[in-house]
Homo-oligomer: A and B are copies of this chain.
Amino acid sequence: MAHKRIVIVGGGFGGLTAARFIRQAEVVLIDRANHHLFQPLLYQVATAALSPSDIAWPLRTVFRSQPNVRVIMDNVVSIDRTMRMVRLQESPPILFDCVILAPGSRHAYFGHDEWEAAAPGIKTLSDAVQLRERMLLAFEEAERQRAATGADSHLTFVIVGGGPTGVELAGALAEIARNSMGPDFPTLRLQTVSILLVEAGQRILPAFSPRLSDKAARALTHLGVTIRLSSPVSAVKPDGVRIGQEWVPATRVIWAAGNRASPLLNTLAAPQDSSGRILVNPDLTIPDDPCIFVIGDAAHCRSNEGTPLPGVAPVAMQQGRYVANLINRTMAPEQRPAFVYADRGMLATIGRAKAVAQFGSLQASGFLAWILWCVVHIFFLIGFRNRVRVMSEWVWYYLTFRPGAKLIIEPPSNPPHKAAQ
């Protein structure tokens, strides 16, 4: 398959890994952003601990020394299976011999797209920076209200979804409120700040063992987070959520529940599951087309036990490498071994020096799991520079409790007078 052209849609973990390992073909990597994003640490940008440039890396720089890879920054409009081309919004269409679709997913609001404005989630750097500004502005607004009325104003952050993102956000918010906002706002009484983690199921971190779910819940509670289980949300407004018959007022609502695969996949006319993911063959291709691959959280792929693989970075990276290997070895469809996910375990962090880890039957929690979490995340960060920066931010925060990026860059409105910086 030498000199063939492979088009990769999406520069996330799956697409990036595939592009790195394809050696014998021309690769065109298309992403609407100009950077690869280390999404597992995105919640730390949203909570002001890290800066965007700490966890993102320009795709063109990543592939500087790989001359067979061309990067295009554009939006993919559709995949034309008949014409064998990818249609782009701004650029001319790109013909392909094979295409690897790794377009990722966005939040899903269970059919209530109108909830998005009231309860944004975090998938992109822009999402995270906006969440950071909304969070910091909430404290500023509460301070102004206290000054105006003389009374405490209550600050409630509601996080919907008790998966890893929700848990990590809740823990980080509780810590920043206590350790960083407390000293910044001398009149702030910490009792007036509530962080509520709302989960529809019966426990948080359902992918982990019940024992670790319980440890995580206790650690969050200790940090001051209120956890509400078996609490599906039935309405979301900017000032609160409805749980059953109860209205829960909120200063900010953050969405960390449910994903929906990229709508680009709809243009394939291939079978999809209820969240829009493509039901792929064992070799990650779509039915009747051995040269169209779908990987990462855009693919519905089952493990040996028959459960769908989770939409996490290790799955996407292994799939990217698997597909690159098939392409490098120009394997005919009937020769191809099925993709098998090697589960190396799961990690979730709850706060400074607290995490849970699960590796098959092995489990760990607390400081040891947190060190492990730090090591794994530093290891997978791309590039020496980002490793050093993130590690130094963490050491700084560990020692000082002061997150490094509490900036409101975009002022909330156009002021009548542009006062000083």
A36 to B140, CA, bound (A): 16
Chain A residues 11 to 41 lying within 8 A of chain B, measured CB to CB, are: 11-12, 15, 30-37, 39
0/1 per residue, A37-64, Cβ < 8 Å to B? 1010000000000011110101011001
* A58 close to B184 (CB less than 8 A): yes
A2 to B268, CA, bound (A): 74
A400 to B131, CA, bound (A): 33
* A219 within 8 A of partner (CB): no
Chain B residue nearest in CB terms to A60:
B184
Identify the stretch in A98-106, A230-238, A302-310, A355-363 within 8 Å (CB) of chain B at 4 or more residues.
Answer: A98-106
A sample of 5 cross-chain residue pairs with beta-carbon separation below 8 angstroms, ordered by A number, consists of A35-B421, A73-B140, A75-B415, A385-B402, A389-B404
Q: How large is the interface on A (under 10, 10 to 19, 20 to 34, 35 or more residues)?
A: 35 or more
0/1 per residue, A69-88, Cβ < 8 Å to B? 01011111100000000000
* A417 within 8 A of partner (CB): yes
Copies in the complex: 2
- Given A102-B420, A184-B60: A34 in contact with B74 (beta carbons within 8 A): no
Q: Which residues of B contact A10 (CB under 8 A)?
A: 419-421
A417 to B73, CA, bound (A): 14
- 4 smallest CB-CB distances across A and B, nearest first, come from A10-B420, A75-B415, A104-B420, A60-B184
Q: Which residues of B contact A418 (CB under 8 A)?
A: 32, 106, 262-263
Chain A residues 397 to 419 lying within 8 A of chain B, measured CB to CB, are: 402, 404-411, 415-419
